[in-house]
Each structure stands twice: as structure tokens, then as C-alpha cells.
Amino acid sequence: MSDIGEDHRLRTKTDDAGDDIYSEDGSIRADFLAMVGAAIADRDTLFLRSHVARLHESELGDLLEAILPDQRHALVRLLGDDFDLTALTEVDEKIRMEIVDQMSNAQIAAAIGELDSDDAVYILEDLDHEDREEILAQLPFTERVRLRRALDYPEQSAGRRMQTEFVAVPPFWTVGQTIDYMRDEEDLPESFTQIFVIDPTFKLLGVLDLDRILRAKRQVKIETIMRETNYPIPADMDQEEAARLFEQYDLLSAAVVDENGRLVGVLTIDDVVDVIQEEAEEDIMRLSGVGDEELSDSVRETSRSRVPWLLVNLFTAFISASVISLFEATIEQVVALAILMPIVAGMGGNAGSQTMTVTVRALATRNLDIHNAWRVARREAGVGLINGVVIGCLVGMVAGLWFHDVHIGGLIATAMLINMFAAAMAGIMIPLLLDRAGADPAVSSAVFVTAITDTTGFFSFLGLATWWFMLR
């Protein structure tokens, strides 16, 4: 009886909360998750349809990621046709494929028919070829052709991201004809901000914003008030390049054209925001040598994605160790050197990582190129020298007091200056060289920068110490 009473209180609280399913920290409320779990266990489809099916696609996506795998599958089955397939564009690939695998191709085809083309392509592109073809075969001819055309474009391209539903009119129409067309035509996008002007071969001639139409008289011809679209996006353009155009020119939407300049779709700001977020996440993950890892991955999959770069780091660590072995006799004479070595290497690694992160991000956003590379390199060299002097003096004073030897302090201060300068240079030059060679600097830079800072730090510190003790 107490369980029933608790469940009732939870449901009443959710009813009172309205659409707010999130707590103050941005996560889904624990009581809402408990209530959804109880409804799934009780097979309470009435509650699920009234409280879960109504959620926005992004909210439903967050819910799918928060509940257990068995609950996900049961939730999709219980909702049936009320499950919004658009929510699958808001979850990671592993969860998306888990849910899709539980659905029949007929169910997917029926749901795909209700989606915008860009969302439909996003779901279809990860399916097996046979399943994809079977699903496409069940769609109306026009929609099937549109989706196949989008799927033919390369992955990560604007053509894959575009929406094939758009409004296009000929230039000789009047404003009145265009307005009547938008009122009467049922097969139009649910929302749009621009109307495209095309010739009989679908070649893009111009674009017209809706506010311009609303301010013009009905008898005015479209060709007299349209403007040239200065930023049409080729369908095979990389999605990151397309996102950069949106950012540079403050676009809300842009026409997507094929190699002949014919209008094939439209790219909208909501999709571009997703691209920007994905690319930023990808750069962050690659800088750490993680790859395309997702939170839903298993232990085995996560380990497999991380091991390769750990092995590369292990190889570079042996190189650093071999440098240390060259000064074995010096270390045996002065134990303080062994204690202080990690400080030199560690500070150099941190300094190199700072410069490398800024450089990789600047390359990704195209703010750093051959025209300003030398100026930025000079700045980083100056920063490395200043930081080396400041940190070196501090470390030198601490080391001198610690071991009661001013010479030890001077040696580590000098080595710190050398390594901080080398770290700054490595942090900017390695990403630039990798980018120039056609490699992704986000993937490879960290390993090389770490190797250089460790090797330089050990060699400079131990080399200076050996030289100094030889003079004594």
C-alpha cells in the first residue's frame, strides 16, 4: 500500500511540474525517472503516452540516455506509434542502434515518413544496406528519391545534413501568387524563413526572406525584390566548412546546390549548431587520444579505443627513459637530481599542452594560417621565455633551499627556462607541421609534444648537471 501511495505522490508532483523534467543541475529529476521506471514496469501505457510521448525530442533523448537499456526497449515497445523517432537524433550512436534493432523495418519506415528529411537521413545512414533499402522501398516515390539523393553524398558533408524540403518559386511569379501558393500547398516544410527563386532547371537564381514578401504588394514580381544568395553551399562541402560559413556570415539558413548549381536542399541553423558541437567534442576527445568514444560504450569498447595511443605514449616514454639512462652516473652522485627531474618534465608538458590546445583550436577555426603563423610563433616564444624565467626562478629558489645547494637551484632554473621555451615552440610548430602534412593535428599533436618536452627536460637538466659537476 505504501508503494502505491508513493507512486501516486510522484505522479502528482510531475503533473504539477508541467513540462519541467529537469532538476537545477540540468539532469532529469530523480522522481521523474522513478515514476517512468514504475510506469514501464507496470506497463502503464496511458501514463507513458501522456507524460513521455509529449516530451520534446531533446528531452526524450535525455530520458533514453538516463534509463537502463531494458527500460529503453520496453519504453519504445509500449509507446508504439507514439514514440517520436526524432529523439534518436539526440542520443549517441550506440543507443540509437540498440533501439532501432528492436524495431521492425515496417515500423521504422512508418516513422521515417513523418520525419524531416535531415533527421531521416541521420537515422538511415547508420543502418545496414539491406535494411536501409527495405525501409526506403516502403516510402512514397518522391520521398524515397529525396532520401537516396541525400544518402549518396559523402558522410560529414552538407548534403548529408541538408533538409530536402524547401519552398522554391519561379522569378516571374508575383508576391500574391507566392503567398497563395504557400497558403494552399500542403507539401511544404513545417517552418521556413526563406523562399528560393529557381529557373525551370532548378538552377538557383536568388533568395527571398519572408519579411520582404510580407512588406511587398501582391502585384510585385518576385524577380524585382529577390536578392542574390551570396553563400550557396556545395552539397559535397564538409559540414565543418559549412558551419564556418554560418558563423562568419551570421546565416539562419543557406541553399545547398549540386555541382551544376541546382538547388537540392537547405541547411538550417539548428543542424549547424549540432555540427559545431560535434566538431568541438571531436577535437577535445582527439586531443586526449580517446577517439570516437561515447558514454554508452562498454568497458571492452572503451579500452580498445584508448589502448593504441597509450601504446604510442609508452614508446615515447621509453625514449625519455633512455635519455635518463645516459646520465646514470650523474644521478648516482646527486640523488637530488632524481627527485627534481619530474618537476622539469611535468612543467614543460603542461606548458606545451597549453600552447598546443590554443594552436589546434585556432587551426580548426581557421584563425591560424600561413599568413599569421610566424607572428603567433614569435608571441609563443616570448611567452615561453617569460614563463620559463618566472617559473624557473621560483623552482630554483625552492630547490636551493630544499637541498641547501645554490648550484642545484641554478641548474633546475636554467633547465626549466630551456624546457618551457622548447615546450612553447613544440606546442605551436608540431600542430602546424602536422596540418601542413595533411594529418589531423588534434589526433597526433599531444604524443609528439609530450615526447619533446620530456626528452628536452631530462636532457637539459641532467646534461647541465653533468657539465657542472665535471667543471667542479
pLDDT band at 174 (very low <50, low <70, confident <90, very high): very high
Q: CB within 8 A of 439, min separation 6: which ones? A: none
Supply the pLDDT for residue 296.
Answer: 58
Is 19's pLDDT higher than 60? no
Is 379's pLDDT higher than 60? yes
Supply the pLDDT for residue 5.
Answer: 43
Q: CB within 8 A of 188, min separation 6: which ones? A: 165, 167, 182
More confident call, 433 vs 306: 433
Measured on CA atoms in the order 288, 289, 292, 297, is the torsion positive or negative? negative
Over residues 415-441, the pLDDT tens digits come to 999 999 999 999 999 989 888 888 778
Is 345's pLDDT higher than 50? yes
Q: What is the 3-state secondary structure (H, E, C) of 301-344?
A: HHHHHHHHHHHHHHHHHHHHHHHHHCCHHHHHHCHHHHHHHHHH
* Burial state string for 61-99 with b = 16 or more CB within 10 A and e = fewer than 16: bbbbebbeeebbbbbbebbeeebbbbbbbbbbeebbebb
Supply the pLDDT for residue 134.
Answer: 92
Q: Where are the domains of the chain?
A: 2-158, 168-269, 299-471
Q: Is-same-fold flag (2-158; 299-471)?
A: no
Q: What average pLDDT does the segment 8-18 reach?
A: 41
Give the range among 257-261, 302-306, 445-449 with minimum mean pLDDT: 302-306
Q: Does domain 168-269 have CATH number 3.40.50.880?
A: no
Is 414's pLDDT higher than 90? yes
pLDDT band at 292 (very low <50, low <70, confident <90, very high): low
Over residues 147-167, the pLDDT tens digits come to 999 999 998 899 999 998 899
Give the range among 62-76, 280-294, 314-328 with minimum mean pLDDT: 280-294
The CATH classification of domain 299-471, taken from the options 3.40.50.720, 3.30.360.10, 3.40.50.300, 1.10.357.20: 1.10.357.20
**CA contacts within 13 A on the Cβ side of 198:** 22
Supply the pLDDT for residue 291.
Answer: 59
Topology annotation, domain 2-158 = MgtE N-terminal fold (1.25.60)
Amino acid in position 277:
Q
pLDDT band at 216 (very low <50, low <70, confident <90, very high): very high
Q: Which ranges of 18-140 would DSSP assign to H, the alpha helix?
A: 30-41, 45-51, 57-66, 69-79, 93-101, 105-112, 117-124, 129-137
Instruction: Give the three cell numbers for residue 111.
Output: 516513422
CA distance 153 to 319: 44
Supply the pLDDT for residue 237.
Answer: 94
